[in-house]
Structure 1
Amino acid sequence: MIDATITVTCADSTVFTSSYQLATTLTDVGRYPAAVLAGPYHQRWEHESAYYALRHTIMNGRAL
């Protein structure tokens, strides 16, 4: 498990900070530091959020 504190600043300047745990089988800390693993995870959620917005606002809930 990797513990991380993430701060998000929204477009309206609202700031959210929370602690998260990332479960992984990559246990070599030297080869896979937490900051390196957290980057792609964050990018994944950006894509998920974009798909959610498309599905629920532009496509009226229809699947892609």
Structure 2
Amino acid sequence: MERYIQNENIRRYRKLLEEETDEEKRSTIRRLLAEERGARSRAGQATPSLRRPAPKLLRINPYRAPPE
């Protein structure tokens, strides 16, 4: 969901940048666009750390007595 919001913000800032003629406002929009792109790339970099390998399960042999 966060990625969707970031993409929509980026799309909106690009559209505003195309339409705006005031250089001060364009500068603000460029800054917001850069921040949103940075947030999206940071979120993309954080994703792999969330994907941890599943822990190995203990294999139990039903034909062997459990360790004491």
Q: TM-score range by the shorter chain?
A: 0.3 to 0.5
TM-score normalised according to structure 2 size: 0.42
